Each structure stands twice: as C-alpha cells, then as structure tokens.
Structure 1
Amino acid sequence: MAIREQVHAALGSLPGAEKKVAHAFLANYPSIGLSTIAALAGLAGTSSPTVLRFVARLGYLSYPDFQRELRADVQTQLMSPLERGRQTESARTDNPALKASFASVAENLDATLKAISESEYDAACEMLGDTRAGCFLLGGRFTDAIAGYMAAHLRIIRPNVHHFSDQTSTWQDQLLDIRPGDVVVIFDIRRYQSDLIRLGELLVERKARILLITDPWLSPIARSARVVLPCVVDAGRTWDSSVTLLALAEALIDRVSSDQWQSARARMQTLEDIHWNQTRR
C-alpha cells in the first residue's frame, strides 16, 4: 500500500498522540512528510518521539526510510500514461496474454479489498442510503462514466439522485441544488483534476458530505471528504485499470439495494409497470 493508504488504514488503531500526527500528515501531504521530524511534530502539536513511534507503527525502521518510501510514492503518483508506457516498454509484447492481464486485475481487486476497511464501507453505504439527503455523482475524464453508471442504478433504488452533467462551467449552476447534508460521490484518480478539487472545496462551503472514491495515493479531495475509499488502479502497464472502481460501485449499489429493499422494491415495481404499459401501446 502507498503510505497515505497505510496511514488511513491505521487511523482507527492509533493512540491519541499518534493520531494527531496522522491527521497532520494527511492534511499536509506530501510536503510535511518530506520535512523534518520537528516540523511534523510541531504541526501535530506532539513531540519528535511521538512521530518516530508513529513511523515505526507503520513498519519503517527510521524516519529516512519513511521519507524514502514517501518520495517513491509521490514519483509513482505523478507518472503520466506516457511515462508508464515507456517504463514497461521493454516488457511489452505484440500480443499481451489475456491471462496475464486478467491476473493483474485479480491482484488489484484483492489489494483493494484489503485497503478498504469495513467501517469506511459501512459509512459509505449509510450515506448513500440516506434518502432524506440528495445524492449527486460525478467523476473525471475516464471515471465519470462509472459515476453515471452508478447514478443510473441508484436512481431506481432511491429518490433524488443526480449525475453532474455537461461541462465544468455548468457545475457551479448545479451546485445551486445542493443543500447542507446532501451526499456527493466523486471519482478522482491520478492525475487528479483541478476542477474536481475546486468543486470539492465549494461542496464543503455548502456543507455537503463527500464520498471520495480514489486511488491509493488519495486525491487532494480527501482533505474535504467524509468517507474515502481507495482502490488499487496500477496494473503495471500504460493505462491505469478502472475495474476496481467499477467493482466497488457495484458493491455499493448492491448493498444499498439490500438495505433499502422495501422502498427499492416499490420503486422497481412502479418502473416495471411503466415499462409494461408503454410496451402495450
């Protein structure tokens, strides 16, 4: 797991002082982690020994080891598809084996299952099932298709579901319909989109609850999110894989369908009746 992912996974088990270090690190990632022990301790309001205990709890023998891994994380996070393609060029064949490709996807699914805590998953399902609140979804250049797919299913299960549409310039118009307490699901993976990050800030101003579905390095939107679900997307090839994002979306859809079954069944029956009446005409 990337270091940010490790810290998120460890949050629930950290002692109070070390939890302060974790929060300071996550809120000021990655710059504070690349600074001195004293700087991180000062920002967290703790001591240098507390920072060292925090680093050791993550499995690092020393603070330099921790920083070395952090630099590698940042470098990997910032790599473009072109750079990843060049990195794997020597291993590329004219006809990549389908079995190898599927094996990589299976590894990502398994790693994602380990990265997402049950408590965070439960919290996400609770947010999505809160029918008193509106539910809005959107994603980035490649992930918005998954947001739309998820919205299409949730719209059948529960009321007041919306998919942010059109160009970035219209998003602010659509913000007018978001009330305090509404849920906004955002898909954002590397290389993170500045317009989505800005939208996250505006959503916080409107007191919306953000459910972020991201990668192990965590989109900057994580600072504003109520719940963060990290998915492993690096498949060791030119393009990141979105399979884990889709699998998680379907798991959330299925859980909300189950939790809201009585009302969902009534909505689904109504939809079937509408479809049947149209086909008879």
Structure 2
Amino acid sequence: MLRLRPNVSAEALQAHLVDAERASLESTFATLAADSSLSRAAALILASRRKYIAGAGKSAAYAALLNADLAATLPNVMLIGAGLSATDVLSDVRSSDVCVVFSVRRYRAETVRLGRLFASSGGHLVVVTDDPRAPLASSASALILVDTGSASYADSPTAMAAVCHLLSSLASASAKGARRRLANRDVVTAELGLYWDESSDSLEPDADGTPPIIHSPTEESESIS
C-alpha cells in the first residue's frame, strides 16, 4: 500500500504509481496469454441466448462497463441490478444462459451467492476475479484472473478495465449482425439527439440567462394544424 511521505515529490510519486499500474497490466496480459480463459469466456457469451452481467460495490462499475460495450453489438445483454433483480434471473436459469460476474476482494456476499446459485441451476458462469482461490473460482465455467495490485490504498482498476475491453472486443468480433446493430444504434442515437453537436448550441440560454423554449412534439403538431 502507498505510504505518503512529505519529502516525496509529486513527480516521483506519479512515476511510482505509473510503474505499479504498468506492472499489474503486464502481469494480467501475461496470464491471459498463457491460458484460454478469455477466448473461452467470449465463446460462452456468443453461444448464449441470454447474457447476464453482475457485480456489486466497486465491481458494479466493471459490470456496467462490460454491459455497455456488449449491449452495443450483441442481443439480450442484461445488467443485474439495473431494473433486473437477482431473484428474477435465478427463477428462470436455462442451460443456454451465461452470467459474467465480477468478484474481487473483499468478495461481496451477494455476488458469491448469485454466482453459485446461477451455476448450480445449470447456467454458465464466467468469473472475473483477482485470485484463483476466490469464492466463485470453483463454480466458474471460465475463470479470468486479473492482477489488481497497486501502489495506492485502493486495488487497481486498470487491468480490470482492459479485460472488459478485450472480452467485449473478442465477443463482438465474431458476433453475427454486430455491424448492423452498431449502424442502427448510430441512427437511433442521432434521432434521439443524445450527443452534443453544433446544433446543440441552439439550446444554450440567451445572454440574459433566459432558457430556450422547447416545444413538445404534440405542441408542434397542434401549431402546424
């Protein structure tokens, strides 16, 4: 863990932190290169009918990241906890389902229970964790080990984010209809106006701070008629 000393310069501290992050990333990549866990996990995701993703605490951020990337190119990707309860999922587990769970120390109990029940119900469990002896390791159909070592007080998220990117990229590269889904998403996001562009400047307040008037579709149709 990082020990802050008053005589350590910001530059030296930054260099130390960067070296530690680089080491955890290189360690993770070396582990992944030596086994087939990542490709096996991607294959399970591709072969599944429903794809569930779960994580609690800090791991919820990793689950949300993977969910966002997979949902862009694959159908039936669902984040447990975001309007979908573990009870609903566990009540209807099929052998064609997969659940990707993120579980790192100190290993949240609800994630461990979810993973074990999902696997015992016949679903495929992909476990992304930091230790081969983690509580869910023995239940995994595919076990992805990530080095979360850090020079800071908190475990490093760097390699975990990289694994999320690698896993989603591998799955998407072989997914049928991925290009079509991405193209359709671009059309939909443009129609919804989700992202900023030059036309968004028209929605800025006037110089006196008066907000712009935004008409609803109903108001516009009534004015036209």
The answer to whether the superposition gives a TM-score over 0.5 is: yes
2:214 paired residue number: none
Once residues 185 and 94 of structure 1 are traced to their aligned partners in structure 2, the CA distance between those partners, rounded to angstroms, is 41
1:115 to 31, 55, 65: 31
Once residues 133 and 212 of structure 1 are traced to their aligned partners in structure 2, the CA distance between those partners, rounded to angstroms, is 18
Q: Where does 1:59-208 land on structure 2 (aligned, <5 Å)?
A: 84=1, 88=3, 93=8, 95=10, 97-116=13-32, 117-130=34-47, 132-165=48-81, 170-208=85-123
Once residues 96 and 6 of structure 2 are traced to their aligned partners in structure 1, the CA distance between those partners, rounded to angstroms, is 49
CA positional deviation for 1:90: 6.8
1:106/1:91 Cα in 2 relative to 1: closer, same or farther (>3 Å)? farther
1:166/1:259 Cα in 2 relative to 1: closer, same or farther (>3 Å)? closer
CA RMSD of aligned residues (A): 2.6
2:196 paired residue number: none
1:104/1:277 Cα in 2 relative to 1: closer, same or farther (>3 Å)? same
Once residues 141 and 123 of structure 2 are traced to their aligned partners in structure 1, the CA distance between those partners, rounded to angstroms, is 9
Once residues 101 and 154 of structure 1 are traced to their aligned partners in structure 2, the CA distance between those partners, rounded to angstroms, is 30
The letter of the residue matching 1:270 is: N
1:275/1:226 Cα in 2 relative to 1: closer, same or farther (>3 Å)? same
8 A Cα contact 2:102 2:129, kept in partner = yes
CA positional deviation for 1:89: 5.9
CA positional deviation for 1:140: 2.5
2:190 paired residue number: 276
Report the TM-score when normalising by structure 2. Answer: 0.76
1:274/1:177 Cα in 2 relative to 1: closer, same or farther (>3 Å)? farther
Once residues 199 and 214 of structure 1 are traced to their aligned partners in structure 2, the CA distance between those partners, rounded to angstroms, is 15
Q: Which shows bigger deviation, 104-113 or 175-184?
A: 175-184
The share of aligned pairs that are identical, in percent, is 21
Once residues 156 and 195 of structure 1 are traced to their aligned partners in structure 2, the CA distance between those partners, rounded to angstroms, is 27
1:55 paired residue number: none
1:256 to 161, 171, 181: 171
1:232 paired residue number: 147
Q: Which structure 2 residue ranges, 5 or more long, are not aligned? A: 194-198, 200-216, 218-225
Q: How many residues align?
A: 193
Deviations 1:147-190 (A, max 9, x none): 1111111111110100011599x422332343223110011111
The letter of the residue matching 2:177 is: S
> Which has the greater radius of gyration?
2
Q: Which structure 1 residue ranges, 5 or more long, are not aligned? A: 1-83
1:252/1:92 Cα in 2 relative to 1: closer, same or farther (>3 Å)? farther
CA positional deviation for 1:91: 9.7
The letter of the residue matching 1:253 is: S
| Runs of 4+ deviating beyond 3 Å | 88-96, 276-281
Q: Where does 1:31-50 land on structure 2 (aligned, <5 Å)?
A: none
1:216 to 131, 134, 143: 131
1:133/1:92 Cα in 2 relative to 1: closer, same or farther (>3 Å)? farther
The letter of the residue matching 1:268 is: L
8 A Cα contact 2:20 2:149, kept in partner = no
Partner SS for 2:99: strand
The letter of the residue matching 1:271 is: R
CA positional deviation for 1:240: 0.6
Once residues 167 and 109 of structure 2 are traced to their aligned partners in structure 1, the CA distance between those partners, rounded to angstroms, is 26
The structure with more helix, counted as a fraction of residues:
1
Report the TM-score when normalising by structure 1. Answer: 0.62
8 A Cα contact 2:17 2:151, kept in partner = no
